């Protein structure tokens, strides 16, 4: 008789009940005698025949544990290859791991715990959301965001660096519910990124502006131009989805330009400060070092987004781990981390000089601009969502059956 003693086991609700180190399940064929309660190793699927034993144990234990019957019938969603899904769901160089194009919300959530070509995309932005929320909560204990107007640009920025990865994670999670849902999910993803660019404009205009530019025309209109860039970004990126199937290269150019324009504008003060230090007009600082790392990862992010490397060179090899969008997410989050550190350093080290040479940030110019940007971007998303073509539900299912 073979006995396994390496796994914790549940012995049911009778005598000697509870968790313990069982001598576990007897595995010989033809074993007789009733089993006492529910006695099954936690990881018995690792043992010979363990999957069937686990199923039998769950059936015996369902009544004792009072579990609903449908809890035992949950199955991970089926995955498909690229030729089995409609074109709107296909990604360049990704040959497998696609979810059903008419997945339910529950299937989408379950798929985040299954290895699909979207799983790493979901988690590489969902987990950083909690990191940024933790950093935000720490700042809330040390700064007075309610009464100190100098901190209001930072408040806007922290809200948005928590928003954009969370929105991205949700978009990747629920984008397989339908073709329309996919477009709308990414509309919101683009809107969150454009708002993030607006948050950068508000923060840089308050803390990162070069000394020579303070109170200049550009400084006074920096946030206003940032709002316009945000609307341009959302409009152009949403429009790019309408021409994606007919003109994929044009769509990619439009979408890339939609994000590069706000980034370049927001980064002008940083480029000037870095070049000034290269020319010897200033001394290196911790903030500039962090800004440099942020810009480096931002350029890597842009390169990965536009190039589709490495899956473009080896289609099918990086379907689940290592494709460009996953690397793009990682670089974006790491770059945002360095950006946050640079902003915090500039805010603390330049406070005395900035407050003595320029006016304090106002509520309308910070939180008010954020609210206006949210409303305008939601309006743009609503307009593009209303213009989406409606695809009959049967057409997607018919495509799968034909394949």
Phi-psi region of 45 (alpha: psi -120 to 50; beta: other; left: phi over 0): alpha
Instruction: Determine the pLDDT at residue 197.
Output: 98
17 is in an annotated binding site: no
CA–CA dist 63, 32 (Å, integer): 22
* Angle subtended at Cα 24 by Cα 23 and Cα 25, rounded to the nearest 5 degrees: 135
| pLDDT beyond 50 at 2 | no
Instruction: Determine the pLDDT at residue 289.
Output: 93
Domain assignment present for residue 347? The answer is yes
Helix (H) / strand (E) containing 40? strand 40-41
Domain assignment present for residue 34? The answer is no
In the predicted model, what is the mean pLDDT of the chain? 86
Domain assignment present for residue 173? The answer is yes
Helices (H), 143-247: 152-174, 179-203, 217-240
100 is in an annotated binding site: no
Instruction: Determine the pLDDT at residue 55.
Output: 62
Helix and strand numbers (H, E) in the chain are 12, 5
Domain assignment present for residue 285? The answer is yes
Output the domain CATH number for residue 282: 1.20.1070
Cis peptide before 320 (omega within 30 of 0): no
Domain assignment present for residue 67? The answer is no
CA–CA dist 198, 227 (Å, integer): 6
Helices (H), 204-247: 217-240
How do residues 123-175 score in pLDDT, each as one tens digit?
999 999 999 999 999 999 999 999 999 999 999 999 999 999 999 999 999 99
Token output for 312:
């473009």
Token output for 16:
């000697």
Please state the domain count of the chain.
Answer: 1
> Cα dist. 37→10, 59, 66, 310 in Å?
9, 11, 14, 53
Which residue has 């406070």 as its token pair? 351
Domain assignment present for residue 217? The answer is yes
| Domain residue limits at 268 | 118-387
172 is in an annotated binding site: yes
pTM of the entire predicted model:
0.81
Domain assignment present for residue 15? The answer is no
Give the residue-averaged pLDDT of 96-124. 96
Percent of the chain with pLDDT over 70: 78
Residue from 368, 31, 352 nearest 198 by CA:
368
| pLDDT beyond 80 at 262 | yes
Instruction: Determine the pLDDT at residue 79.
Output: 96
Q: Based on the number of CB atoms within 10 Å of its own CB, is 321 exposed (0-12), middle (13-18) or buried (19 or more)?
A: exposed
Domain assignment present for residue 111? The answer is no
């Amino acid at each position: 008789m073979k006995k396994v003693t390496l796994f914790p086991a549940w012995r049911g609700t009778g005598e000697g009940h509870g968790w313990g180190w069982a001598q576990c399940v007897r595995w010989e064929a033809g074993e007789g005698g009733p089993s006492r309660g529910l006695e099954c190793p936690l990881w018995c699927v690792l043992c010979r025949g363990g999957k069937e034993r686990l199923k039998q144990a769950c059936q015996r234990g369902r009544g004792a544990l009072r579990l609903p019957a449908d809890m035992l019938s949950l199955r991970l969603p089926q995955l498909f290859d690229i030729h089995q899904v409609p074109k709107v769901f296909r990604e360049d160089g990704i040959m497998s791991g696609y979810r059903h194009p008419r997945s339910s919300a529950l299937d989408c959530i379950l798929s985040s715990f299954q290895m699909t070509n979207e799983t790493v995309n979901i988690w590489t932005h969902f987990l950083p959301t909690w990191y940024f929320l933790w950093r935000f909560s720490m700042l809330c204990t040390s700064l007075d965001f309610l009464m100190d107007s100098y901190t209001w640009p930072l408040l806007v920025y922290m809200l948005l660096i928590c928003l954009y990865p969370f929105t991205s994670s949700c978009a990747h999670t629920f984008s397989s519910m339908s073709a329309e849902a996919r477009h709308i999910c990414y509309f919101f993803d683009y809107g969150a990124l454009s708002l993030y660019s607006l948050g950068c404009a508000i923060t840089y205009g308050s803390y990162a502006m070069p000394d020579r530019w303070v109170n200049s025309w550009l400084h006074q209109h920096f946030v206003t131009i940032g709002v316009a860039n945000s609307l341009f970004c959302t409009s152009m990126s949403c429009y790019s989805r309408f021409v994606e199937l007919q003109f994929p290269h044009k769509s990619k150019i439009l979408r890339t330009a939609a994000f590069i324009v706000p980034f370049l504008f927001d980064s002008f003060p940083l480029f000037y400060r870095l070049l000034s230090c290269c020319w010897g007009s200033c001394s290196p600082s911790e903030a500039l070092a962090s800004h440099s790392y942020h810009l480096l990862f931002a350029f890597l992010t842009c390169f990965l987004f536009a190039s589709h490397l490495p899956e473009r060179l080896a289609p099918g090899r990086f379907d689940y781990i290592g494709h460009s969008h996953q690397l793009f997410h990682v670089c974006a989050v790491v770059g945002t981390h360095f950006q946050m550190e640079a902003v915090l350093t500039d805010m603390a080290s330049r406070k005395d000089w900035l407050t003595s040479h320029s006016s304090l940030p106002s509520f309308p110019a910070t939180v008010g601009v954020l609210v206006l940007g949210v409303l305008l971007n939601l309006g743009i998303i609503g307009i593009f969502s209303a213009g989406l073509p409606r695809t009959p539900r049967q057409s997607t299912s018919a495509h799968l059956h034909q394949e």
